[in-house]
Structure formats: structure tokens, C-alpha cells
Structure 1
Amino acid sequence: MLIIITGVSGSGKSEYAEQICCRLAGDNKKYYVATMQPFGEEGRIRIEKHKRQREGKGFETIEQYQNIGSALDCCDKEERPVVLVECMSNLLANECFGEAGKPDDIFDGCMKLYSGCRHLVIVTNEVFSDGCEYDAGTTDYIRRLGEINVRLSRAADAVVEVVYSIPVFLKGDIGDVDN
């Protein structure tokens, strides 16, 4: 099952995504694919918050800042884990603004990653409604994130927006999923 979880910053989407992964995984392997590079004090604080949040939940962390399709290359191909990608907006920023980035390859990379998973949960951000004007680079980034979110949502079995920590299903249902 491919599940997309979206919401604004601080909405509770990350915690909800972790809960879903734990429920879907049962006794199966769980990977947390971290895409945020630790730039600056604010970034380090946010990363530490997420690490504390998932302590004791059984996730093995893979740091994958670009080329999301290769995130499981070092793993046992037979294990078919549950994978949480946290988050698409960071991955896209790394691909758009990082050295040798390939933002046009993200969707295909996600599909490659999904092919090696039992379930794939991708967290993304809703950054489209603030009404601000941005420079050309930021506008292109926002457009790209919107396009990726649409493509992933079309491919997904379920799309959930977390609003004030309340999951609102926009597509599909997670229901009672077999492990």
C-alpha cells in the first residue's frame, strides 16, 4: 500500500505517519528514510525532535538526502519492509538545490522504492496557500512539489491530510491492512 500524508508544518503529520507505519508493520521490519540534511541549529533541533518522537518504535533510520530510489539498496531484498519517507519537501529541496540533484527523477525513484516495500508511507508538506510572492527559484520549487504531490497522490492507495493532528482522508482508506 502506498500512503501519502500531507499537512502544514506542525500539524502532527509525522507522528501520525509513524503510528500508521507501526500498525502496518506488525512484526515486520520498519525503515525511516530521513531526507533532512542537518543544516544550522534549527535543523538539528528539528531532527532531534523527530528522533525522540520515534524512539522505541523499532524504526531503523536510513539517511537519504537524494536519489530516493536507492534508499533500500543496502537492505535485504527479501524482507519487504514498511518504509516511511520523511519528507518529500526536504528531498525535493536537496534535489533542486543540492549538487548533482535530479528533481525530475523523484517520482520514479519513489516508485522504485515502493517496489521493494510491503508498504510505503510518504510525508509531504502543504506549502501552497500562504499567498506570498516568491523569487523564481522558490516558485519553481513550490510548483515542483505540487506536481510531485499530485503524481504521488494519483498513484497512492490512500491520501491523508492531517489538520490539527486530526487525519482527514482525501482518498482511500487505510482500514485493516494485512501485514
Structure 2
Amino acid sequence: MVRGKLKVVIGGVRSGKSAYAERFLIEEVQRDGGRLVYIASGTATDSEMQERIDRHRLERVTTDWTTIEQPMKLEEVLPAIRQGDAVLWDCVTTWLANELYAGWDFGTPCIGDPDCMEQKEVRLFETIESLLTEAAHLVIVSNEVLDELPSMYAETRIYCEWLGRIHRKLVSIADTAIEMDCGIALYWKNGGKEVAE
């Protein structure tokens, strides 16, 4: 069985990364066929986030996306993925926040357990490999939040350390790695090879 292609798209807030990822997969499906699948990890924690989620849903109405709301436990999407699907996962940063604070309501957040996130990271990359055995294309979107000065808050530093670690691993296994900047796709890795500056 041929492994699907993995594309990682990372960029700042409102950089155009989601729109780019959507356009790419729509073009792939128009050319090669398959089903468009959108895995959404965002949760409406406030009115601004609810507006963003609603806007993204409206944007997908005109295209035939199958949407799976999956804020945590990405592995639970596996039974819904079919051979040849074009899958977009948006995004790593919201998934990570959700997973790090899982258990908060019970006073046992993952962020406070040294082994918790390590186990979730292993499951994450096993899930990605499983997705690639079914999906023809998997595009993973994430936010770049590491360009800022280190935070004075320990939990924010832990979040950033995990995000950086996950980004590095994703790019290392990706066929293509793109940084979005002002709506422009900058290729850092293409076809599994690093791109010279």
C-alpha cells in the first residue's frame, strides 16, 4: 500500500494557512478524485473563537467537505477515514492546548503530569501514520507562536516547548513543509527534500 503524502503548513494568525490548505486539497480532489475531509480541533471557548469556527464552517459550505469535530484524541477519527481521502487537520495548536489541559476540571491537567504529554505525542504520531495508510493526502495546519520572546508564565513555556517539539517532528516526516507569510507560501521542504535558501 502506498503511503499518502503529508504536507505541513505553519504560519502566524491570519497568515492564510487554512485557506491555502483548503485550496490545495480541493485542487487535488478535482484532479484525482476522492473525498474532502476536514478534521477541526477548535473549540468555542469565547465569542471570538465561536465567530471563527462559524466563519470556517460557512466557507466550507460551498465545497463538499465532510467535517469531523475532534478537539482531542485524534485517533478517534481513524474509523471515519476512507482510502483515497484528502484530509485537512486544522489545527495542531488548538489540539495541543486541549490535550495539555485535559483533566483540568478534575484537578489533574495533563500539563501537570510529566508522562502524560509524552504518551499523547506517541499516539499522535501513530495516528498520523495510520491516516497516511488511508488518505491520499494529509495536510496538517498549525500556528507559529514561537517567534515571540519567551513567556514569563511556566505553563505558556511548556506549551511552546511542546509545540516546537511537535513541529520539528512533523516537518521531519513531511513530504512538504510550508511557512505561510502574508498569504504567500514559502517552501522549506518540498518532495521530502529541504529547499535551499
> With structure 1 as the length reference, what TM-score do the two structures score?
0.89
- Superposition CA RMSD, Å: 1.8
Aligned to 1:150: 168
Match of 1:52 among 46, 49, 58: 58
Match of 2:11 among 1, 7, 12: 7
Aligned to 1:177: none
Give the gaps of 5 or more residues in structure 2: 104-108, 111-116, 193-197
Match of 2:102 among 95, 98, 103: 98
Aligned to 1:71: 77
Match of 1:107 among 117, 122, 125: 125
Shift in Å at residue 137 of structure 1? 1.3
SS of alignment partner, residue 124 of structure 1: strand
Aligned: 1:123 with 2:141: yes
SS of alignment partner, residue 80 of structure 2: coil
50-59 vs 97-106, greater mean Cα deviation: 97-106
Shift in Å at residue 6 of structure 1? 0.6
Q: Deviations over 1:2-49 (max 9, x none)?
A: 000010001000100000111122231010000001222111011012
Aligned: 1:16 with 2:34: no
128-137 vs 2-11, greater mean Cα deviation: 128-137
What amino acid is aligned across from residue 45 of structure 1 in structure 2?
A: E
SS of alignment partner, residue 131 of structure 1: coil
Aligned to 1:164: 182
> With structure 2 as the length reference, what TM-score do the two structures score?
0.81
What amino acid is aligned across from residue 64 of structure 1 in structure 2?
A: Q
Match of 1:137 among 135, 142, 155: 155
Q: How far apart in 2 are the matches of 1:137 and 1:111?
A: 29
Shift in Å at residue 173 of structure 1? 4.8
Give the gaps of 5 or more residues in structure 1: 175-179
Q: Which has the larger radius of gyration?
A: 2
Q: Percent identity?
A: 29
Q: How far apart in 2 are the matches of 1:81 and 1:59?
A: 11
SS of alignment partner, residue 143 of structure 2: coil
Aligned: 1:32 with 2:50: no
Aligned residues: 172
Task: Check conservation: 1:5, 1:121, Cα contact below 8 A.
Answer: yes
19-28 vs 102-111, greater mean Cα deviation: 102-111
Q: Deviations over 1:93-134 (max 9, x none)?
A: 111112386532322222222222111000011100111423
